[in-house]
Structure 1
């Protein structure tokens, strides 16, 4: 986050003051609060201790009263079952009533025999059940002074407890004297008067947590502290000081348990009431601290403003100077560090104005200006001096270079025109050569196609001749097989003829009976003779066919190698033709590429000619611009060390002179083939630079 100087001063110092005051107030508040709380705890503990002592004293007095009463002889006389005891019981009742009137803390007093029956009472209206099973009665009957727990009175409904003392006569226990003590009297004397703050109070509860004494009477015998968390803590301890919340109010309570009775006395108070003076003092301290902080911040603001306002003025002037406004005036007059800063700014503005004047003279073309250097650390003055010296040298060199560029561009323009014309003529020759190569390539392609077809026909003829030879061989074998079969038929015909002769003989022997058989035998003989004659003719034809087929097969076997040789020769011709076709294609591609290069060279030469003309125009313009600067009185004279040679004209002439005209024809008698000689496109090397060292001269500027 960006902050100005006022914020950097104001915020940290204000925060430091506020934090320091806050910490000191917090420490004071916490210390005071802790001290007051400890005082409250001590006060509550002291109140509880005093109340416990009062309760113990009050109980002891009551125990002493009941003990002294039990030793009265009339009570010992009234206990036994006798005529004398009956009259004594009336006197005992009168005495007990008198005691109750004199001691208002007793609700009633009873004289009970060993069977647990009441035989005399301070109040005739009170009826009491048999107490034989009561623990405190049994303990008293055993000879011990006994104190019962707090109970609700059957007569008044108020909390009471019983003090039972044994009644003795003739070294034996005859009965028990019981004093029913009202705890309300103790509460009125020792609990109700206790006030801690405005709302703090004391109270008593028995072992099970039931409250038996309380300033609010409606809580007696109805409120049980074990229903609350703080009450459970109190039941579990004999004495302590604990904090708890009661009906939304933070409280402290000190308590202590009576070991003799098991009752617990507690005294509590609201913390806020006890700390009210501390809170009031904290409010006062906060107001005073706020007032002090406001005064300190106002003083700091005034102090910071006295520093920041002139600094802001100086910053405004510095920004204006940074934006180029040198007409600023610094009117701050002080005798502290800010005044020193203002005086330094005035000197800086004056020096910058002087530098601006020098720069203005240089901008007007006056390179004879002298830059003042104010000290060894004047980096701006030294830089301006070095800049003017360097500009003088550069302007001289630029003048010379502009003249060289102007002259060189003229030579370059004429050379580019010659190169363009030569490249155009070379492109025409390359176009003719490309057309011829395309025609030759088409013829070679047709020859290659014919050779491939001839190759296919020769290969097929060789295969057909080979197949025919195999067919003739198979035919010879078939004819030989036919001849062998015909010989078998001829043999069958001969045997048939022999059989027919035998049949004729037998028919002659049979005379009349064999006439029909003789006719058949004659027909069979005739058929056998014809079959034999046909078989002989077939055999002769088969022999002749075999001889003819053997001759044909021999001729086919002689013809097949020749046909195969012819097919191989045709394949070689086809391969050579294909290779020739690829070669002519490559030559045609090369000529086309050459044509493209020549076209590019022609275009480049035309562009170079146009560029040369533009360069000449720019050089003339540059010369006019350079004339704006004034270097010295003898500015026209150029020192020898800054002169730049002009080899451009000679170099251009050398590059153009060796080019051959594309129409020059080399005659066959001189070793040529009569075709036009296509010169190598040297213009490509020219525009690429080659070893042209003149480029370095251009790159310098």
Structure 2
């Protein structure tokens, strides 16, 4: 009985001497590596979102410059008062050059009635005076309107508009071009990291305008998604940042940044499980090492305990 008790004490003590440091070191290493990887992933998600939103902003600024340049054309200015022949020729020539990026380009008068367009006059007579881009242009600011689904192609388009001003700076109408945003969508969705990291973009009302899953475009609103309430509020407030969240039971991280020109927002998201995989590998490796050392310790302590306890019991 004494021998068994001594053996047990020696074995238990030896195992604990080896096991406790391994458990402490292993837990600390896994915890620190998880924290470090999470910090890196969160920071990276915001940088990616800012990078993509910056590219989108620059692309839209170029489109605004193009339309603003057309608004200063003498023939286009004349069209606001009914002299449309020169404007029709100018707009038709412009469409031949940039038509692959636009569905149409047109000129309105000060009430919003379309006077001329670049596709044979099919838009002439339509009034767009209640559209958001017209109101903003009327206030003197070139802008990009809300993304809508094209009735012609079903693809998302955004109208780029610039005011037409008279000699004394008075508002006479606008030049507007329906921009196909396919190239912007591709720019956003081509941003991928690993298997689960991707970017998407919303407009200033939270409606998705770019997403790897095309069926979500103009159909999904982040304000209505459970688990994304806080992120949606920050995106709608044109904030930049990053955070952790859970969506459909999956822990994720997200970084987001606004498109300054439009108030749209780009978000980059990734599953925590993926970016924490290296930390999990470290944890599993430590567990394997711990089990191996434990087995060796048990064998070593067993022989050691027997070597000590036998002489004691004989005496």
Match of 2:144 in 1: 147
Alpha-carbon separation, structure 2, partners of 1:126 and 1:242: 48
Match of 1:246 in 2: 247
Larger relative helix fraction: 1
Alpha-carbon separation, structure 2, partners of 1:162 and 1:62: 10
Larger relative strand fraction: 2
Alpha-carbon separation, structure 2, partners of 1:106 and 1:17: 71
Match of 2:31 in 1: 30
Match of 1:193 in 2: 190
Alpha-carbon separation, structure 2, partners of 1:261 and 1:230: 25
Match of 1:178 in 2: 176
Q: Is the 8 A contact 2:162 2:175 kept in 1?
A: yes
Aligned-pair CA distance for 1:162: 1.8
Aligned-pair CA distance for 1:11: 1.4
Task: Please say if 1:109 is aligned against 2:110.
Answer: no
What do the CA deviations read for 1:181-222 (whole angstroms, capped 9, x no partner)? 22221111x212211211210001123221111111111111
Q: Is the 8 A contact 2:226 2:247 kept in 1?
A: no
Q: Kindly tell me: are residues 226 and 198 of structure 1, through their superposed partners in 2, closer, same or farther at Cα, counting changes over 3 Å?
A: same
Aligned-pair CA distance for 1:22: 1.2
Q: Is the 8 A contact 1:106 1:180 kept in 2?
A: yes
Match of 1:220 in 2: 217
Q: Kindly tell me: are residues 37 and 139 of structure 1, through their superposed partners in 2, closer, same or farther at Cα, counting changes over 3 Å?
A: closer
Q: Is the 8 A contact 1:207 1:235 kept in 2?
A: no
More contact order relative to length (CA 8 Å, sep ≥ 6): 2
Secondary structure of 2:108 counterpart: strand
Q: Is the 8 A contact 1:96 1:110 kept in 2?
A: no
RMSD over equivalenced CA pairs, Å: 2.2
What do the CA deviations read for 1:449-478 (whole angstroms, capped 9, x no partner)? xxxxxxxxxxxxxxxxxxxxxxxxxxxxxx
Task: Please say if 1:65 is aligned against 2:66.
Answer: yes
Aligned-pair CA distance for 1:98: 2.2
Q: Is the 8 A contact 1:70 1:166 kept in 2?
A: yes
Alpha-carbon separation, structure 2, partners of 1:126 and 1:267: 40
Secondary structure of 2:245 counterpart: strand
Give structure 1 regions of 4+ aligned residues with deviation exceeding 6 angstroms.
Answer: none
Alpha-carbon separation, structure 2, partners of 1:175 and 1:92: 16
Q: Structure 1: where are the runs of 5+ without partners?
A: 315-341, 343-701
Aligned-pair CA distance for 1:39: 1.0
Q: Kindly tell me: are residues 293 and 243 of structure 1, through their superposed partners in 2, closer, same or farther at Cα, counting changes over 3 Å?
A: same
Q: Structure 2: where are the runs of 5+ without partners?
A: none
Secondary structure of 1:20 counterpart: helix
Aligned-pair CA distance for 1:89: 4.0
Q: Is the 8 A contact 1:97 1:121 kept in 2?
A: no
Q: Kindly tell me: are residues 228 and 134 of structure 1, through their superposed partners in 2, closer, same or farther at Cα, counting changes over 3 Å?
A: closer
Structural mapping, 1:341-356, within 5 Å: 342=315
Aligned-pair CA distance for 1:169: 4.0
Aligned length in residues? 307
Alpha-carbon separation, structure 2, partners of 1:300 and 1:58: 70
Q: Is the 8 A contact 2:88 2:117 kept in 1?
A: no
Q: Kindly tell me: are residues 23 and 108 of structure 1, through their superposed partners in 2, closer, same or farther at Cα, counting changes over 3 Å?
A: same
Alpha-carbon separation, structure 1, partners of 2:174 and 2:243: 42
Aligned-pair CA distance for 1:280: 2.3
Secondary structure of 1:123 counterpart: coil
Aligned-pair CA distance for 1:259: 4.5
Q: Kindly tell me: are residues 257 and 143 of structure 1, through their superposed partners in 2, closer, same or farther at Cα, counting changes over 3 Å?
A: closer
Aligned-pair CA distance for 1:8: 1.2
Match of 1:90 in 2: 88
Alpha-carbon separation, structure 2, partners of 1:48 and 1:293: 47
Q: Kindly tell me: are residues 20 and 126 of structure 1, through their superposed partners in 2, closer, same or farther at Cα, counting changes over 3 Å?
A: farther
What do the CA deviations read for 1:401-440 (whole angstroms, capped 9, x no partner)? xxxxxxxxxxxxxxxxxxxxxxxxxxxxxxxxxxxxxxxx
Q: Is the 8 A contact 2:117 2:123 kept in 1?
A: no
Task: Please say if 1:307 is aligned against 2:308.
Answer: yes
Match of 1:55 in 2: 56
What do the CA deviations read for 1:147-178 (whole angstroms, capped 9, x no partner)? 32222222222222222112234334332100
Alpha-carbon separation, structure 2, partners of 1:125 and 1:199: 47
What do the CA deviations read for 1:207-251 (whole angstroms, capped 9, x no partner)? 322111111111111111122244211122222222223344321
What do the CA deviations read for 1:319-342 (whole angstroms, capped 9, x no partner)? xxxxxxxxxxxxxxxxxxxxxxx3
Q: Kindly tell me: are residues 15 and 124 of structure 1, through their superposed partners in 2, closer, same or farther at Cα, counting changes over 3 Å?
A: farther
Match of 1:121 in 2: 117
Q: Is the 8 A contact 2:43 2:242 kept in 1?
A: no
Task: Please say if 1:160 is aligned against 2:170.
Answer: no
Q: Is the 8 A contact 1:89 1:119 kept in 2?
A: no
Structural mapping, 1:523-602, within 5 Å: none
Q: Kindly tell me: are residues 141 and 153 of structure 1, through their superposed partners in 2, closer, same or farther at Cα, counting changes over 3 Å?
A: same
What do the CA deviations read for 1:41-76 (whole angstroms, capped 9, x no partner)? 121111011112112211211111111111122212
What do the CA deviations read for 1:519-547 (whole angstroms, capped 9, x no partner)? xxxxxxxxxxxxxxxxxxxxxxxxxxxxx
Alpha-carbon separation, structure 1, partners of 2:35 and 2:225: 26
What do the CA deviations read for 1:612-670 (whole angstroms, capped 9, x no partner)? xxxxxxxxxxxxxxxxxxxxxxxxxxxxxxxxxxxxxxxxxxxxxxxxxxxxxxxxxxx
Alpha-carbon separation, structure 2, partners of 1:10 and 1:86: 99
What do the CA deviations read for 1:262-302 (whole angstroms, capped 9, x no partner)? 21110011111112222223322322222122112211111
Alpha-carbon separation, structure 2, partners of 1:125 and 1:243: 52
* TM-score of the superposed pair, with normalisation by structure 1: 0.42
